[in-house]
Structure 1
Amino acid sequence: MSPGPFGTTTAPRGLLQRFRAAPVDVADLHDVAVQLLPRLASARLHLGLVRRPGAGTVLHVEEDERVQRVALTDLADDMSRAGVPGTAAGITAALRSWVERRPVTDAAAAASGIAVLDWVDRSETAVGWSVVVVRGDLAVAWVPSPAARTAELHRVRSASTGRAHEVPLQVRVEGPLALFSHRTVPVLASAALVAPELMLQRIATTGLALPDMHVVVTPHRPVACADPGVARRLAGQTSEASVTLPWRSVVDLPWL
């Protein structure tokens, strides 16, 4: 299960709901925001609280072409539903995570975007190429703004493909499998697939030969490489959704 907007996962429904943490208080969230937001702001990222007479306070986030406004009452309710502890430390961690997950600007994608594979839609039956920007241990997908022109889309995607070559990945061989992974940002494992021929060469240096390599892709997980039969068995043995592809077809996948 992927973390939500506050770095938490939703707990299963059932008896444990009786023991949920106390709701996040709006006043406590306000106090945390006053202290934290100036430390997270930068020359391009503007964060602030705006008081609306008769309508409460909103959190204003502005970075290049991206502008967000969310009522503190709504944000506190969302945190409570996500199980965020109502302590200063819990609220601080959740608010920091929320800001880190803000939309990626076109300029940020152009400057530091990396090409990876991600699900095409919520049905998780197909994958495509996406551009992500890494913020700490988090990778946030870029959704082009309405102002982004076709030429700009091409430049960003081309540059992100080039950066994918430079992502440091670990390779581990387990029997007939080779696993590509990233130490801290799992989704970056699929960056290797921009150059599957280099993957084959790197695997060969371990002593494992995969002339007809197929890859088992589960976004946000290590990429498994194996012969076709082994790859199919591996995909059938896991409960997670995955896509199995011959290595030659990976570079032709669509952009999201």
Structure 2
Amino acid sequence: MTSSIFGTAPGTRLLHRFRGAAVDVADLHEVAAQVLPQLATPRLRLALVRRPGAGTVLQMEEDERTQGIALHELADDMSRAGVVASTAGIAAALRTFVARRPVTDAAAAGAGVAVLDWADPARTTVGWTVVVLRGQHALVWSPSPAARTVQLHRTRSAATGRAHDVSLEMRVEGPLALWSHRSVPVLATAGLVAPELMLHRIAGAGLALPDMHVVVTPHRPVACAAPGVARRLAGEASEASVTLPWRSIVDLPWL
């Protein structure tokens, strides 16, 4: 786990100058004892477990997933992330930590949504993946070793179906049609499960794109344009992106 799970911390020099007191392990233990029972569900078990030689560990168990982290490590991560060392600040960070726990196979099957994400560390290709929403967080599902091929197929098919129902905002800016999601940026690519419907909606807004190309930057709005405009837009962008003809989108591989 990295400190970014609690949000983006300022630069090292600024952090040294302006952050408050470090999160104390005893304070974290006290807050966790109050907050964790409120976050537990019949399927999600949260416990503070005392382990010889390791101190107290926050243990999370949900279906086939088990995760544990020593409280002193969690306190250090919170401190590095600039979490305010108050009861409210620690409680909020704990809720974020629990919300961003690994996605179970059952959760993906029951609530997963298909989106595009980077397929390689170099960010040169994209592929389909399944995410599960927990509040404002969209967590990527990594199938467990026990997940069978038929289960993978059913989960991905159901996630594709849910992607059709994601409400996206579209705006036309000159030769571009831009698609975005109001609160969860990664969902901007969900509409690409049916690019022909996007093309139809773009035409209804008065922009003719018979040979529509799509500029995909996962976690950012999706841009649709004619081939030349799309290539120029991608070339001028400061972030990595992939430009594809709309007919090839649905054939992208699953990650």
Q: Please say whether Structure 1 and Structure 2 have the same fold, judged by a TM-score greater than 0.5.
A: yes
TM, length-normalised to structure 2 = 0.96
- Could you tell me how far apart the structure 1 residues matched to 2:120 and 2:4 are? 17
- Cα deviation, 1:40-61, whole Å, max 9, x if unaligned, reads 1111111111112443100010
TM-superposed CA distance for 1:14, in Å, is: 3.2
Q: Is 2:211 the counterpart of 1:215?
A: no
Where 2:12 maps in the other structure, the secondary structure is coil
TM-superposed CA distance for 1:16, in Å, is: 5.0
Residue 115 of structure 2 corresponds to 116
Residue 60 of structure 2 corresponds to 61
TM-superposed CA distance for 1:123, in Å, is: 1.7
Tell me, which stretches of 5 or more residues in structure 1 are unaligned?
none
- Could you tell me how far apart the structure 1 residues matched to 2:102 and 2:14 are? 36
**Does the 8 Å CA contact 2:9/2:15 hold for their aligned counterparts?**
no
TM-superposed CA distance for 1:15, in Å, is: 5.1
Identity percentage over the alignment? 73
- Larger CA deviation: 172-181 vs 121-130: 121-130
Letter in 2 for 1:222: P
Residue 92 of structure 2 corresponds to 93
Runs of 4+ in 1 over 4 A off after TM superposition: none
- Could you tell me how far apart the structure 2 residues matched to 1:12 and 1:243 are? 30
Residue 36 of structure 1 corresponds to 35
With over 3 angstroms needed to count, the CA separation of the structure-2 counterparts of 1:37 and 1:218, relative to structure 1, is same
With over 3 angstroms needed to count, the CA separation of the structure-2 counterparts of 1:237 and 1:73, relative to structure 1, is same
Where 2:5 maps in the other structure, the secondary structure is coil
TM-superposed CA distance for 1:131, in Å, is: 0.1
- Could you tell me how far apart the structure 2 residues matched to 1:183 and 1:34 are? 35
Where 1:14 maps in the other structure, the secondary structure is helix
User: Alignment RMSD, CA only?
Assistant: 1.3
Residue 239 of structure 2 corresponds to 240
- Could you tell me how far apart the structure 2 residues matched to 1:210 and 1:17 are? 52
- Could you tell me how far apart the structure 1 residues matched to 2:177 and 2:87 are? 44
Where 1:93 maps in the other structure, the secondary structure is helix
- Could you tell me how far apart the structure 1 residues matched to 2:151 and 2:142 are? 13
- Could you tell me how far apart the structure 1 residues matched to 2:180 and 2:223 are? 9
- Larger CA deviation: 231-240 vs 61-70: 231-240
Where 1:67 maps in the other structure, the secondary structure is strand
Where 1:4 maps in the other structure, the secondary structure is helix
- Cα deviation, 1:70-120, whole Å, max 9, x if unaligned, reads 100111111112222212222111111111110000000000100000111
Residue 5 of structure 1 corresponds to 5
- Larger CA deviation: 142-151 vs 86-95: 86-95
Tell me, which stretches of 5 or more residues in structure 2 are unaligned?
none
Aligned length: 253
- Could you tell me how far apart the structure 2 residues matched to 1:167 and 1:15 are? 39
Residue 73 of structure 1 corresponds to 72
TM-superposed CA distance for 1:165, in Å, is: 0.5
TM, length-normalised to structure 1 = 0.95
